[in-house]
């Protein structure tokens, strides 16, 4: 399994990674977007907690931390890890059974081949439980697709990915820390304390995407394809194996 994540920005990426690991879904490859050195440290720290050793790859090469601040994620920093970049000449393709994309997929667009991809991003105007903040809105900007628009389009149109699932922001905005902690408490003390510091209404976008990867049949989907309206996304019906989330657990 492959996970691409902008780990070290919004806390829900770290929690999603922990959730997967504690549910016995261990990533073989973690790709960091864009791949700041501190992000590598954070990924290494989380992997050390769980005694796992995936390959760690960065979306871009030669980055320095610049103005990047790991904030709450400093609890995981301290050790680094040797990495490759997606621009490395030997990294032509990733052939995986599953992929979870919870960050802008910079430089991954034409490299991924898999049976199932879950992508956190997009929008579902047909959500069965619409949130007030999205009332009468037909298209929105969405961070992960907008952060790497060309690569998103390549993943969307790829014939090398069999089943594509999109977890739109309007549905996942309704899934919060309060919902998560009713069903799961991290076994890791360090991760528990990290999660515990967040407010109960903090949206857990990436955790919901991880849950959809673990068992997509528990969720409600429509056969609909993301489509751009300028820099905003909505969906259109499709006959392809492309599914957009319209509701949480059945």
pLDDT at 96 over 90: no
Confidence (pLDDT) at 132 = 67
Cα separation, 96 vs 140, whole angstroms? 30
Confidence (pLDDT) at 130 = 64
Average model confidence (pLDDT) for the chain? Answer: 92
Confidence of residue 79 (pLDDT cuts 50, 70, 90): confident
Confidence (pLDDT) at 23 = 97
Confidence (pLDDT) at 131 = 65
Q: pLDDT tens across 185-211, in order?
A: 999 999 999 999 999 999 999 999 999
Phi, psi of 192 (to 5 degrees): -60, -45
Confidence (pLDDT) at 133 = 66
Confidence (pLDDT) at 81 = 83
- Which residues 6+ apart lie within 8 Å of 111 measured at CB? 86, 91, 92, 93, 94
Confidence of residue 93 (pLDDT cuts 50, 70, 90): confident
Confidence (pLDDT) at 67 = 83
Confidence (pLDDT) at 32 = 97
Confidence (pLDDT) at 173 = 79
Average pLDDT value for residue range 143-156: 96
Average pLDDT value for residue range 11-16: 97
60: exposed, middle or buried (Cβ count in 10 Å: 0-12, 13-18, 19+): middle
pLDDT at 170 over 80: no
Confidence (pLDDT) at 202 = 95
Domains of the chain, residue spans: 2-247
- Structural contact between residues 107 and 60, judged by C-beta atoms closer than 8 angstroms: yes
Q: pLDDT tens across 118-146, in order?
A: 999 988 888 877 666 667 778 888 999 99
CATH superfamily of 2-247: Ribonucleoside hydrolase-like (3.90.245.10)
Confidence (pLDDT) at 168 = 86
């Amino acid at each position: 399994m492959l996970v691409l994540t902008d780990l070290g920005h919004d806390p829900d990426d770290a929690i999603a990674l922990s959730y997967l690991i504690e549910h016995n879904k261990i990533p073989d490859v973690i790709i960091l977007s864009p791949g700041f050195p501190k992000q590598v440290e954070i990924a290494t720290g989380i992997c050390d907690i769980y005694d796992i050793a995936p390959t760690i790859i960065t979306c871009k090469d030669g980055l320095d931390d610049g103005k990047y601040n790991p904030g709450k994620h400093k609890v995981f920093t301290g050790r680094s890890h040797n990495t490759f970049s997606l621009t490395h000449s030997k990294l032509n393709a990733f052939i995986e059974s599953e992929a979870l994309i919870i960050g802008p997929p910079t430089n991954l667009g034409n490299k991924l081949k898999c049976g199932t991809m879950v992508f956190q991003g997009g929008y579902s105007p047909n959500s069965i439980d619409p949130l007030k903040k999205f009332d009468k809105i037909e298209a929105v900007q969405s961070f992960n697709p907008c952060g790497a628009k060309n690569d998103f389009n390549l993943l969307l149109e790829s014939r090398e990915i069999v089943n594509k699932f999109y977890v739109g922001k309007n549905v996942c905005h309704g899934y919060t820390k309060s919902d998560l902690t009713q069903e799961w408490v991290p076994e890791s003390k360090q991760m528990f304390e990290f999660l515990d510091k967040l407010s109960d209404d903090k949206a857990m976008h990436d955790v919901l995407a991880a849950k959809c990867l673990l068992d997509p049949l528990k969720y409600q989907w429509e056969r609909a394809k993301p489509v751009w309206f300028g820099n905003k996304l909505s969906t259109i019906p499709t006959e392809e194996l492309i599914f957009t989330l319209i509701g949480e657990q059945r």
